[in-house]
Amino acid sequence: RFVKSVDQILKIMNNPEQIRNVGIIAHVDHGKTTTTDSLLAAAGLISPRLAGQLLAMDFLDIEQKRQMTVKAANISLYHEFEGKPYVINLVDTPGHVDFTGKVTRSLRMIDGAIVVVDAVEGVMTQTETVLRQALEERVRPLLFINKVDRLIKELRMSPDDIKQRFIEIIKEVNNLIETYAEPEFKKKWLLDPAQGMVAFGSAKDAIGLTVPLSRKKGVKIDDLIEVYTKGDKEGLEELKKKIPLHEALLDMVVKFVPNPREAQAYRIPKIWRGEINTDIGKAMMSADPDGPVVFFVCDMRWDPHAGFVATGRVFSGTIYNGQELYLINSRVVQRVLQVGIYMGPYREVVDRIPAGNVAAVLGLDQSRAGETVVDVRIKDVMTPFERMRYISEPVVTMAVEPKKTTDLTKLIDALKKMSIEDPNLVVKINEETGEYLISGMGHLHLEIVLTLLKERFGLEVDTTPPTIVYRETAREKSKIFEGKSPNKHNRFYISIEPLNEETIRLIQEGIVSEDMDTHKRARILRDQAGWDYDEARRIWAIDENINVFIDMTSGIQYLREVRDTIIQGFRLAMREGPLAAEPVRGLKVILQDAVIHEDPAHRGPAQIYPAVRNPIFAAMLSSRPTLLEPLQKIEIKFPMDYLGPISSVITKRRGRIINVTHMIGNIVKMLAEMPVAESADLANELRSASAGKAFWGTEFSRWAPVPDSMLLDIVRKIRQRKGLKPEPPSPDEFISL
């Protein structure tokens, strides 16, 4: 490890050429933690201030290190390559796809990624999902084939077979690069082992080799194979000294990952929607330390000693203490209380941090992961980084209550902090019952939340059984319905229709959003989703559950004055639909005509809201309404002998088997899709169907209509749970006479 003074590091940080921002991408269990630990142990930066203290607390204690890597949003490493010093920021990129929003945000922080692949298992779905996203964000991939020892110790493969296996894995990754990288990067980014873009080794033993290093060090891959084949302990110790993993990986990073200035020149046009031919655009593309501050927050973490720490990347300008910055999404100005850099996993206070670097900033506690923080001078002209994407959604909900009633305030506070740290955790209070409801992306996600409540905040809670969140939608285009305000002075004529899949995707991925330029949005919708340009131009609102409001009227008096109230009425209606008071999804709401009273006193929210909501609900209920349920993808690995029993567990739960592929030995991998509603107790059933030999992972897949035969039954159950009359309303109930 490297003891360096803060000044020495700042000197390096002032020169983007000596900075690299990278992440590690891996399928669960392929070795991300072990790799990170070994890099931290061998190359982690340490400030002289901490060096003494750390020695005293036995820094190398494995468990402790594990906790640090889990907790640190960023780890900085020091590496010298060809006589020149570099600081490498290793940003935490979660591999678990339950937390996809987090993956996307952290990909924005990094310019290169080390893809870790278990040599035995090869490329798995999570590797593929995250690698695809990385390539879409122009993050350059490099490969580390890990657990080479397993090929020998467990599979007893011959040297030729091992090399063949490497070639296969490289080919698999290159196929993905071929498929998902844009043409201008493909050629340069395809992995060429001869140049050193692929490392082989064992994270557990902290050894690694690339082709150029092999030549430089005079160690061949056959030497490594021989050491493992013979179980040669001394030989292994010698290899650990000769070919340490950090050298192989960090050489690769310095050589092939672009520095922040090079990277921002081609990444900004891709990851930022603003106009690049402006002063702000140019400053970001050149990582100009003298430009206006643009700081993208990737991670918010609660530190009991310091408060909320916002970790992110400085894309332009220089952040310093006392600076006033504007948070675009939260619309507030906050003052920087402290600026820090990471030294290893720890924060060290500094005066200023220039563009291209990762910064840890105190004082921005109104910020959330995904926030764009800027110089106050550009607050009105800056386009924020893409809005959060909604790929994973909170679909499972439960009520929580402290075991000790006196803990209630503490629980509320802890949940608030955790939902700030984890934007995919949604905390709500049920006004009627006073219950606290937490929603997460799956049963597993909520289990983790409960564990953290206990471990971090010492809170024990009682919970209700988890319930599934549904969405409401309509499957046909409706005729036009009339809605009258209670005072009969205002009338709205509204029709609805389902949005097409392509539109839903564009909104979900943030390519189309409410706050973008009208004409740009209309062009995208016309070109990519088959919209009529004129209609697309007339979009008034897009809500967070992917519903669109369009104004097709012309020349209506006073319409402009009530526009905001109409939009608010639309948003409220979409929040609780007519079928079961679940959120509406995927609806196009079209205002066709309107009559509005001239006197503002007669057209307030209490008049406008119901007049907008009622025709929407009547239209939905008359256009084949249905519920959408969350489906999850599940990937299960097990010995072939259990194919029958496992298949029947899946099909019994309305699951669909997508494919079964052979992996290695007699192990097969099944990919299936099934409703989240059917997944309670799935773990136990899979275990008993496979005598405990199955391993699996799940991730959110998509929303799909519930089977028609089950619709009414589910609707009644949800309504009863919410204290509504069990039968859903008929359209007539929303038609005013």
Tell me if 146 is assigned to a ligand binding site: yes
Instruction: Give yes or no for a contact between 425 and 418, defined as CB atoms under 8 angstroms apart.
Output: yes
The least CB distance from residue 168 to ligand GDP, in Å, is 18
Tell me if 95 is assigned to a ligand binding site: yes
Supply 425's token pair. 């955790």
Among 9, 10, 16, 11, which Cα is nearest to 287's?
Answer: 16
Supply 182's token pair. 């844009």
Residue closer to ligand GDP (CB basis): 245 or 612 = 245
Which SS3 state, helix, strand or coil, does residue 699 take? strand
Instruction: Give yes or no for a contact between 224 and 231, defined as CB atoms under 8 angstroms apart.
Output: no
Q: What is the DSSP letter of 728?
A: P
Residue closer to ligand GDP (CB basis): 228 or 734 = 228
Supply 719's token pair. 């309504």
The least CB distance from residue 208 to ligand GDP, in Å, is 9
Tell me if 30 is assigned to a ligand binding site: yes
Residue closer to ligand GDP (CB basis): 146 or 323 = 146
Residue closer to ligand GDP (CB basis): 238 or 576 = 238
Residue closer to ligand GDP (CB basis): 150 or 379 = 150
Neighbouring residues of 1: CB distance < 8 A, sequence distance ≥ 6: 41, 42, 43, 44, 45, 46, 344
Neighbouring residues of 221: CB distance < 8 A, sequence distance ≥ 6: 159, 162, 163, 200, 209, 214
> How far apart, in Å, are the Cα atoms of 209 and each of 90, 246, 364?
20, 10, 42
Instruction: Give yes or no for a contact between 176 and 128, defined as CB atoms under 8 angstroms apart.
Output: yes
The least CB distance from residue 204 to ligand GDP, in Å, is 3
The least CB distance from residue 148 to ligand GDP, in Å, is 7
- Rounded distance, CA 432 to CA 153, Å? 61
The least CB distance from residue 37 to ligand GDP, in Å, is 7
Q: Give just the sign of the alpha carbon dihedral 513, 518, 520, 523.
A: positive
The least CB distance from residue 36 to ligand GDP, in Å, is 8
Tell me if 27 is assigned to a ligand binding site: yes
Helix axes 221-230, 159-180, angle to 10 degrees: 130
Tell me if 732 is assigned to a ligand binding site: no
Strands 74-81 and 84-91: antiparallel
Q: Give just the sign of the alpha carbon dihedral 180, 29, 39, 143.
A: negative
Tell me if 74 is assigned to a ligand binding site: no
The least CB distance from residue 663 to ligand GDP, in Å, is 16
The least CB distance from residue 367 to ligand GDP, in Å, is 28
Q: For 622, phi and psi rounded to 5 degrees? A: -100, 5
What is the identity of the amino acid at 456?
R
Burial 477-492 (b: 16+ CB within 10 A, else e): ebeebbbbbeeebbbb
Tell me if 187 is assigned to a ligand binding site: no
Residue closer to ligand GDP (CB basis): 25 or 418 = 25
Residue closer to ligand GDP (CB basis): 65 or 471 = 65
Tell me if 722 is assigned to a ligand binding site: no
Residue closer to ligand GDP (CB basis): 145 or 361 = 145
> How far apart, in Å, are the Cα atoms of 422 and each of 56, 99, 449?
33, 9, 10
Q: What is the DSSP string of 463-530?
A: EPPPEE--EEEESS----EEEE-TTSS-EEEEEEEEPPHHHHHHHHTTSS-TTS-HHHHHHHHHHHH-
The least CB distance from residue 691 to ligand GDP, in Å, is 22
Q: What is the DSSP string of 287-312?
A: T-TTS--EEEEEEEEEETTTEEEEEE
Tell me if 26 is assigned to a ligand binding site: yes
Strand partners, 639: 667
Neighbouring residues of 352: CB distance < 8 A, sequence distance ≥ 6: 318, 319, 320, 321, 339
Instruction: Give yes or no for a contact between 169 and 145, defined as CB atoms under 8 angstroms apart.
Output: yes
Residue closer to ligand GDP (CB basis): 32 or 105 = 32
Instruction: Give yes or no for a contact between 360 and 408, defined as CB atoms under 8 angstroms apart.
Output: no
Residue closer to ligand GDP (CB basis): 34 or 357 = 34
The least CB distance from residue 235 to ligand GDP, in Å, is 16
Tell me if 677 is assigned to a ligand binding site: no
Residue closer to ligand GDP (CB basis): 93 or 701 = 93
Residue closer to ligand GDP (CB basis): 1 or 204 = 204
The least CB distance from residue 92 to ligand GDP, in Å, is 11
Instruction: Give yes or no for a contact between 239 and 227, defined as CB atoms under 8 angstroms apart.
Output: yes
Tell me if 92 is assigned to a ligand binding site: yes
Tell me if 91 is assigned to a ligand binding site: no
Instruction: Give yes or no for a contact between 649 and 689, defined as CB atoms under 8 angstroms apart.
Output: yes
Helix axes 501-508, 518-529, angle to 10 degrees: 140
**Side-chain-facing half-sphere of 118: CA atoms under 13 Å:** 18
Tell me if 161 is assigned to a ligand binding site: no
Q: For 322, phi and psi rounded to 5 degrees? A: 85, -10
Residue closer to ligand GDP (CB basis): 145 or 359 = 145
| The CA-based dihedral angle spanning residues 298, 394, 509, 177, taken in that order and rounded to the nearest 10 degrees | 70
Tell me if 578 is assigned to a ligand binding site: no
Supply 673's token pair. 């899709």
Burial 521-555 (b: 16+ CB within 10 A, else e): bbebbbeebebeeebbbbbbbbbebbbbbbbeeee
Binding site for ligand GDP (CB under 6 A): 26, 28-34, 146-147, 149-150, 202-204
The least CB distance from residue 340 to ligand GDP, in Å, is 26
Neighbouring residues of 323: CB distance < 8 A, sequence distance ≥ 6: 293, 335, 336
The least CB distance from residue 111 to ligand GDP, in Å, is 22
Residue closer to ligand GDP (CB basis): 230 or 722 = 230
The least CB distance from residue 276 to ligand GDP, in Å, is 37
Residue closer to ligand GDP (CB basis): 125 or 647 = 125
Tell me if 269 is assigned to a ligand binding site: no
Q: Which residues are annotated as a binding site for GTP?
A: 26-33, 92-96, 146-149
Q: Which residues are annotated as a binding site?
A: 26-33, 92-96, 146-149
